[in-house]
Chain A
Amino acid sequence: MNRAMAWTILSGALNVAAVLLLAPLFQGILRKITARIQSRQGPPVWQPYFDLLKLLGKEDIESGETPAMQRFAAYLSLATVLTLACLVPMGVAAPMNGAGDVILLIYLLTLSGICTLLAGLAAGSTYSLLGISREMMSMISLEPLLVVVLITGALHVHSLRLDSVLNGSLYSGGGIPWSGLVLLGVMLAAFQAFVQRVPFDISEAETELMEGPLVEYSGPKLALFKYAHMVKLIIYSALFASLFMPWGSHLEFPMGWLLFWMKVLGLVLLVTLVAATHARYRIDQAIRYFASLLVVAAIGLVLASYGY
């Protein structure tokens, strides 16, 4: 075992441990700030940890139509986001850099959506079916946005390698990086939807669908889904930071690492503010919104292919 391999394993473990440990904290910060905006005291920032522990300790009731699939969906959901954590650089270079490229990244991100689909199908209730139909509709229209962004980055650096693309590749065109700036706007506008928060929490919509696909989940498996949901916020923030905010990523271990988590915190604050000041969109309104973003993103791609 050489040094590089040891470093791969170590940094992979570091990433996974970091997201597992910090995701509930960011969720707690999000909740606390939301509460402050709403003139509430709010729960302590540690509350999400307690919530997860509480759920993990509850009786495991399998009330859906196909419990085996329900179980599988819950495990797969968390497993997927943790695998993603090994592929995305988080203040240290992407640990499993050689194990995959951006195409794998896209597939894994899609897979985490598929988990929701499986969960909804397994529950088999009308509300969960409505929820997954919404989930699929938004996935189909959102996923291309991310693909366009990653492909643009790949075009600029002429590589699909994770460490090349996920390092501010969007700005590496010649002169002023027009395509990068266009796509930065697009990603900012769609970010709330990627992390599935208000106004785009359409597929769960508590007041309409009673949590949609998760309606039959309770106890430990619900905890896994909730955990995955929190981690997702970190993963997408990390992706966003690596693609569009590469500054300081070359710094040595503790500094670069800390700077990275500050960026993530900034994005979480942004998500919180948007969520606290918006009402939920309807699925048709959301799809129309995504479609218009896709048109803009396509323009960015064209710009990139001409080298801008």
Chain B
Amino acid sequence: MTAQNRLEQLREKFGAAIRRTDFPADNRLFVHIAPAAVKGICQYLFKDLGARYVISIGTDDRPYSGNFLVAHTFAFDADHLLCSVLVELPADKPSLESISEVVPAASWAEREMQDLVGIEPVGHKYLKRLVLPDGWPQGLHPLRKDARWDDVPTGYSDDRELTFDDPPEGCMVVPFGPFHPTLDEPAHFRLYVEGEMVRGCEYRGFMAHRGIEKLAESVMSYNDIPMLAERICGICGCVHSVAYTQAVESAAALKPPPRAEFIRTIMLEIERLHSHLLWTGLACHILGFDTLFMQSFRIREPIMWIAEKITGNRKTYALCQIGGVRWDFTPELKVELRQTLDKLEAEWRPIVNAVSGDTNIQKRTRGVGVADKKLVKSVGLVGPVARAAGVDMDCRRDHPYAAYDRVDFNVITQNDGDVWSRLLVRLQEVFESIRIIRQCLDKMPDGPLQLEIKDELPIGRIGLSSIEAPRGESHHFVITGENNRPRRWRVRAPTYQNLQGVPMMIKDQQIADMTISLGSIDPCFSCTDRMETIDLRSGAAKVWSQEELLKLAQARNRS
């Protein structure tokens, strides 16, 4: 169905509530609606039309239109369509009916909206703080335009301890994190444990906020932000950088030259290769199988080397700018990349065969951390977690970007939805990535790397971009703005949705399965925690007081 058909379906039912529509391209649909109809329309999209929930964004649009703006974004994967439902809210009363009752996947996004922009989701069942620490003063919303990016508010106390819910009766609390050997980054799960069984958990994360979005929309420019976006994550940085660039390009209706698109595709797949190999290693380490952990990392290493040869860096590629890429492939590099891929394929196949037949690993992963199709739909799980549950979904095919529409590959799915299925999906996806890169090398046309952009980018346009990161769909939302920078940039990493499913996956399982269940979504807390300004809760506090650190940081910022 086309965007036009989908719009007609909406018109038929909610004609009166639709104020304005906009479809800038075949694969994008923006519907501006009256606030009162938001829950009904979202329910219709999500439940009746079978759309997949992507993300909700709240933004302070007061300086430009005098209103607050909320966008609920849904995806029609089979139609290759991203659809945003936009609502304008009056400046004096920014509140909107919550949709999380009908779309459970929206729960976090709405809590975040309340924390950062101060848009109240009326009727949300669990409005505890998500992003802001408990010591942050009430009524101060950092993503509002009148909040300065470098301000530490008066009355902020960063030693205030987090408040937690009461555990259910008869359960012991096992704190998992903020620091734990299998968590590479801080995040806190309070597990409610009965004997060895996990009965529930509460998640408090967002402990390493870096204020990336605020920084971007306050002080950086369009072409700086890809570098910043890349630093959101140490594993899938290139994904964020490409996703942001594509979101801006989609807003400004720019199309990079074909050679640039192929180069982006290759680098994204190289990133997937190293990420999947890294994950396989870490998962084995979590299971206590260190031999495979070491072998995975050994096989992975040449990928890092070839990435360094192409871009100058093992990991942070600095690849994208608006309308193109910065690195080219020489013929020698192409030959070397092919050799690396051949070696990788030859070394990876025996590993896949060994793992696929290993009963020992199956014992620890089969039936563990199960997320079925129903959970995938309701919480909006993405990537290998969704594909392992038999949900045939892959942004590379469903929302083609870069050069993915010109290469041939399979979307790997499994049916059990457990950790074992996720393992199999990732093991096989490595071969698909190798196939994609080889095709790209064959088909890459000659030509420029960069589109010539003569005019200023248009202002106030919305751009969406979904990219299949190694961990699932990474979605970026951009509203273009003045001063050569976006007004609003919202990053939704795959872990943002996948983490919301973890409490359901680990319920009524052994505590020993907690680490691998969490590990199986390949959680990336830095992606999830990307926003906000404060975190000084570091171990260094013994040497430096937090105030001293703060002063030091501020002095450096201003110099």
Contact = CB atoms under 8 A, between A and B. Distances in A.
A278 B510 contact: no
A167 to B, nearest CB: 36
Size bracket of the B interface? 20 to 34
Interface string A115-135: 000000000001100100100
B302 to A, nearest CB: 13
Contacts of A202: 512
Contacts of B285: 207
Given A38-B291, A38-B295, A39-B295, A207 B511 contact: no
B350 interface: no
Nearest to A134: B196
Given A130-B174, A279-B361, A285-B363, A208 B290 contact: no
A199 interface: yes
Nearest to A126: B174
B175 interface: yes
A37 interface: yes
Interface string B352-374: 00000010110110000000000
A126 B513 contact: no
B351 to A, nearest CB: 12
Nearest to A127: B174
Interface in B259-305: 284-291, 293-295, 298
A206 interface: yes
A147 interface: no
A208 B181 CA distance: 8
B439 interface: no
A244 B289 CA distance: 30
Given A38-B295, A39-B295, A130-B174, A282 B510 contact: yes
A216 interface: no
A277 B287 CA distance: 12
A33 to B, nearest CB: 11
B290 A38 contact: yes
Contact of B284 (A208, A279, A283): A279
Contact of A205 (B293, B358, B361, B512): B512
Contacts of A210: 180-181
Contacts of A38: 290-291, 293-295
A279 B287 contact: yes
A198 interface: yes
Contacts of B286: 207
Contacts of B175: 126
B174 A279 contact: no
Interface in B359-412: 360-361, 363-364
Nearest to B174: A126
Contacts of B364: 279-282, 285
A51 interface: no
B218 interface: no
A276 B174 CA distance: 30
A205 to B, nearest CB: 7
Contact of B288 (A40, A127, A280): A280
B515 interface: yes
Interface in A119-178: 126-127, 130, 133
Contacts of B173: 126
A207 B288 contact: yes
B546 interface: no
A50 B208 CA distance: 37
A65 interface: no
Contacts of B311: none
Given A39-B298, A126-B174, A199-B360, A278 B289 contact: yes
Interface in A267-281: 276-281
A280 B174 contact: no
A126 B172 contact: yes
A198 B288 contact: yes
A284 B294 contact: no
A38 B510 CA distance: 29
A39 B294 contact: yes
A279 B293 CA distance: 11
Contacts of B450: none
Contacts of B294: 38-40
B288 A199 contact: yes
A202 B196 CA distance: 13
A295 B180 CA distance: 38
B182 interface: yes
Given A40-B294, A285-B363, A280 B511 contact: no
A283 B174 contact: no
Contacts of A201: 288
B196 A283 contact: yes
Contact of B291 (A206, A276, A281, A282): A276
Contacts of B287: 207, 279-280
Interface in B188-219: 196
A184 to B, nearest CB: 23
A34 B511 CA distance: 28
A207 B298 contact: no
A207 B363 contact: no
A40 B291 CA distance: 10
B535 to A, nearest CB: 23
B193 to A, nearest CB: 8
A207 to B, nearest CB: 5
A274 to B, nearest CB: 11
Determine which residue in B175, B288, B360 has the highest number of CB atoms from chain A within 10 A of its CB, and name it.
B288
Given A206-B181, A283-B196, A37 B291 contact: yes
Contacts of A207: 181-182, 285-288, 515
A80 B205 CA distance: 45
Contacts of A133: 196
Nearest to B284: A279
A126 B298 CA distance: 36
Contacts of A199: 288, 360
Contacts of B298: 39
B363 A281 contact: yes
Given A205-B512, A283-B510, A284-B196, 7 more contacts: A40-B294, A126-B172, A126-B175, A207-B287, A210-B180, A278-B360, A280-B287
Q: Which 4 A-B pairs have the closest CB atoms?
A: A280-B288, A38-B294, A279-B289, A279-B287
Interface of A: 34, 37-40, 126-127, 130, 133, 198-199, 201-202, 205-208, 210, 276-285
